[in-house]
Structure 1
Amino acid sequence: MRIERLSPASYRDLIQPDRVHGSLYTEPYVFEDELDKIFSRGWVFVAHDSELPNPGDYITRTVGRQHYLVVRGQDGAVNVFINRCQHRGNLVCNTAAGNAKNFTCPYHGWTFGLNGELQDVPHAGGFQKDWNKLGLEVPRSGSYRGFVFASAAQDGITLDEHLGRAKALIDRACDLSPDGRLRLSAGWVRHEYGANWKMLPENDTDGYHVGFTHQSFVRAIRSQYDQFVADDTSANGVIRDWGNGHTEIDFAGGYTKPLEWLGTSPEKAADYVAAMEKSYGKERAAELMRLGPPHACIWPNLFLAEMNIVIFQPLAVNKSVQWHTPMLLEGAPSLDFRLLRQSEGALGPASFLVADDASIAERAQQALEAGDPWCDLSRGLEREETDARGVRTSHMTDETSNRGFWQHYLHVMAG
């Protein structure tokens, strides 16, 4: 008899402190359970408010199997709705983005306002129910510094509790803007992976694979990777588990000069430096520009990929899509061209990184679909440290971030 859902005890058997079972990447019933417990009941990233600059602007996003409609209302607020008509269940909006005064369901013509209220029902004489109860469904939603999140569950932890300590990672990204705001206006590029979605966030905060999977990249840009992993005590680059499934590779310890992470210098970016100093003062601006952006995953589907924003989209147990767009900085238009070109080089269709990571993930998926495999996650288990914030930290090549991801996964999936 085929198992349709794992019990909490089964998840605890398959996820151990130093290893996880390969079936968690390959079994369809596990994937179905994830869609429910992680992507429907939990908080997920759905949009950034800069994608909706004007009243009436909207975007549609699919997270797991849930379809969201995100709209800038006439009052300037960003509203999140379930993209589904309560009459006969049709998708109300079928385009990816645009501007509208209202939304009309293509099936029977029910019309909804930008606030989700039901405005019109054709041939209303035959319809006696209360219109106020049949507007677009409103999931729980919230935002933090422009990042908009939603949860299809009507109860559960708050967004503030979900983000926890990891709000500091979003702050680090936003504070690189003289205005304290990001702008996602360059458009999204999507890459399909023939692999389970979990391999994407696992890989993106894995500091161990860089010198092997990305050898051509390391050589071509004269990377500082060797300095980050110079010896077992190097603190130039560290791995962090921020809790709640949020993980990070922090490269800041290896940067000695402002804007080194951007491949430039203060002299070559004088307009940006002046704007930062005006906003933050010279000392704080210099520190922000030395630390650079975060390289961190916000559970479960958002990746702050240094100067890029990435979304993980699960499609099937063995198929996922990675979206990316450049992270542009409000108040620093002089950097737009550089950031766009760097985004193409790092994550674009002919980039250094995506093709390598996709190939590795697909090979892993193929290998795990055979036999009864375990995946070892023990590297660095004995040398982790926990700082005063409660954040677990270890050497860049350790698997602290992977263990953090899986322990939170266990917490969510086993209830």
Structure 2
Amino acid sequence: MPNYRDLIRRDRVHGSLYTSAAVYRDELERIFYGGWVYVGHESEIPEKGSFVRRNIGEEPVLLVRGKSGELMVLKNRCAHRGNLVCSEQTGKAKNFMCPYHGWIYGLDGSLLDVPYPKGFTKDRESFGLQALPLVESYRGFVFASFNPDAGTLADHLGNATDALDRAVEMSPSGDLRLTAGWVKHKFAANWKMLPENDTDGYHVNYVHASFAKVIRSQYDEATMIAEDDVKSQTIDWGNGHTELNFAPSYTSECQWLGLPNASRFPDYVKQLEDAYGHERAHEILRAGPPHAVIFPNLFLGEMNIVIFQPAGPNECVQWHTPLLLGDVSDALNDRILRQSEAAMGPSAFLLADDGVIAERQQMALADGRAWLDLSRGEEREQAREDGSIIGHITDETTNRGFWRHYQSVMSR
């Protein structure tokens, strides 16, 4: 068994953590099957019988809205011969029928019918689709766990509810809509490289150099100026949750949307003022959405939602969809959609760069013998009263926070 106390030090981690098959299998059991994992958003299953297909680790599951409106997560595996019960990515159903032998399951996973029933004499109650024991929503974001002893979702989220709250408050009604469809990209890299990179503020000038040279963006003042002039921060929220906080660098409203000010969307300004009051509304317009990772697999990528899906020690899949807002103008949501396409779509400016860097890193670590340094900024980061830790935008405060929690989970 890997010795995580030895492989993860205060200021460095061992390269085998990205390449070892034993480590990967251990992660599935301890992190993805033993703890809380993001599954989907309530807007994706708005009606009774609505469902979406997802994976928790390598386990196929269904996120379902039950007959009474309850949220359930079911294993997408027939209790008879193990076939995938539902192959549709999303839809609405009265029940689920296994395509192999026609076994029919209710929305709650219970076995309703077996063709040619005289040949099956066992207790049907023990042959339903397994329902996960823990399923809970925080402001529309649905999390679940295979482990009944995983503790409460509130304890898992901890201080990171701050980031989730700010995402929700981008909507004047608090209504988010993850309804534009998902784009998936396969990376020939370990899944942990994605959350590490997404809250790494040190790489932007170099990995995204061509983007920085030709496009004026919100990242110019947030990350691409002299070290002593940058006001943006890294945040370790605890429990493996991390953030790049660009808000201190924003000087105008809607800068996060790539606009000089909020004048293009006066209706949105008025809606926020009516919902939150003048002072809070204009702070939302200036500070914008979070850029935060919720351990282990959710990324609030400003006006994008991203899921990290492990697929082996040397492979992972990234899902993303734009974070559309409820009860706002189509013009505003169109702007969000186009910005999402430009940053993370198949021909995007940023995602291809990050994909190449992750795959180059995976190749360089193939022998499993290297150590990766995480010491940058350790001496200048500061702890806050709530237990979170703040660092310079170029510091590895976020990576240290991720690995500190990872070591705790993997060493239990």
TM-score, length of structure 2 as denominator length: 0.95
1:282 and 1:371 map into 2 onto residues whose CA distance is 54
Amino acid at match of 1:314: P
Equivalent residue, structure 2, for 1:326? 322
Do structure 1's residue 243 and structure 2's residue 238 form an aligned pair?
yes
Q: 1:208 aligns with which of 202, 209, 231?
A: 202
Equivalent residue, structure 2, for 1:359? 356
Give the conservation status (yes or no) of the 8 Å contact 2:15–2:368. no
SS in 2 for 1:412: helix
Equivalent residue, structure 2, for 1:141? 135
SS in 1 for 2:96: strand
TM-aligned CA deviation for residue 57 of structure 1: 1.6
CA 1:226 to 1:108, structure 2 compared with 1: closer, same or farther past 3 Å?
closer
Give the conservation status (yes or no) of the 8 Å contact 1:228–1:234. no
Equivalent residue, structure 2, for 1:287? 283
2:56 and 2:363 map into 1 onto residues whose CA distance is 25
Q: 1:169 aligns with which of 156, 163, 168?
A: 163
Q: How many pairs are equivalent?
A: 408
TM-aligned CA deviation for residue 232 of structure 1: 4.5
Do structure 1's residue 39 and structure 2's residue 36 form an aligned pair?
no
Matches within 5 A, 1:52-91: 52-91=45-84
Q: After the TM superposition, which of the residue ranges 73-82 and 136-145 deviates more from structure 2?
A: 73-82
Equivalent residue, structure 2, for 1:194? 188
TM-score, length of structure 1 as denominator length: 0.95
SS in 1 for 2:305: strand
**Unaligned segments of structure 1, at least 5 residues:** none
Amino acid at match of 2:236: D
| Deviation readout 1:300-347 (Å, 9 max, x if unpaired) | 110000000001111111111111100001111331110111001000
Do structure 1's residue 178 and structure 2's residue 178 form an aligned pair?
no
Amino acid at match of 2:64: V
Q: 1:381 aligns with which of 349, 366, 378?
A: 378
2:211 and 2:319 map into 1 onto residues whose CA distance is 21
1:319 and 1:104 map into 2 onto residues whose CA distance is 32
Amino acid at match of 1:11: Y
TM-aligned CA deviation for residue 228 of structure 1: 3.4
TM-aligned CA deviation for residue 128 of structure 1: 3.5
Give the conservation status (yes or no) of the 8 Å contact 2:38–2:298. yes
Give the conservation status (yes or no) of the 8 Å contact 1:307–1:327. yes
Amino acid at match of 1:105: C
1:148 and 1:21 map into 2 onto residues whose CA distance is 33
Equivalent residue, structure 2, for 1:303? 299
TM-aligned CA deviation for residue 224 of structure 1: 5.0
Give the conservation status (yes or no) of the 8 Å contact 1:43–1:162. yes
Give the conservation status (yes or no) of the 8 Å contact 2:53–2:63. yes
Identity of aligned residues (%): 56
1:386 and 1:31 map into 2 onto residues whose CA distance is 32
Do structure 1's residue 158 and structure 2's residue 152 form an aligned pair?
yes
The Cα RMSD (Å) is: 1.5
